[in-house]
Amino acid sequence: MGVQFECELTEGGALLTSDERFKKARADNAAEAAADYVELIQDLIDEFGEARATDLATHMGVSHVTVSKGLQRLVKNGLVTYRPYRSIFLTEKGRDLARDARERHVVVLQFLLALGVPNLVAEQDAEGMEHHLSPETMAAFSKYLESARAASDVPKN
């Protein structure tokens, strides 16, 4: 499986590549829910000391039933532990994913703001984009962010 038919180098350098891009995008989509869950769980823990299913439902705009099933999936995937009617904990793996998710979220958001995108819109776009950024693109965003800060932040010197 994988690149079975190289690239179809369409002379014009046009867009006729192979399946890889699409597969990657689909995989990213599948991982999206998990990342959003653990990120939010960590946020709730940081702000309120604990995360409960109801809070997740409220903040994600889904029913509590959806959250319940979602949590069962997270447990199955080793990202979360919890006992019925108790608060939710992240596993080591869950915390790692949450940290990564938060990092992305912040970088993407700051980047969009630096580009001049209005706050609310930037929040929305970041929520979707954050799941589709390679390390290289993350690095490029960060780099831009730094130079943008350098240019405006310290007009001294």
Partner DNA sequence: TTAAACATGTAGCCTAAGCTAAATATTGAG
Partner DNA sequence: CTCAATATTTAGCTTAGGCTACATGTTTAA
Note the residues at the interface with DNA (CB under 7 A). Answer: 26, 30, 32-34, 52-54, 61-66, 68-71, 73, 82, 84-85, 87
Q: Which of 54, 68, 72, 124 binds a second copy (CB under 8 A)?
A: 124
The CA distance from 57 to 59, in Å, is: 6
Contact string 64-103 vs a second copy (x = CB under 8 A): ----------------------------------------
Minimum CB separation of residue 83 from a second copy in Å reads: 25
The CA distance from 115 to 109, in Å, is: 10
DSSP strand E in 17-114: where?
Answer: 80-81, 89-90
Nearer CB in complex with DNA: 46/146: 46
Residue 71: closest CA among 39, 37, 103: 37
Token pair of 128 as six digits: 């979707």
Q: Which of 81, 117, 127, 144 binds Mn ion (CB under 5 A)?
A: 127
Residue 98 binds Mn ion (CB under 5 A): no
Residue 14 binds a second copy (CB under 8 A): yes
**Which residue carries 């800060």 as its tokens?**
149
The CA distance from 126 to 124, in Å, is: 5
Residue 31 binds a second copy (CB under 8 A): no
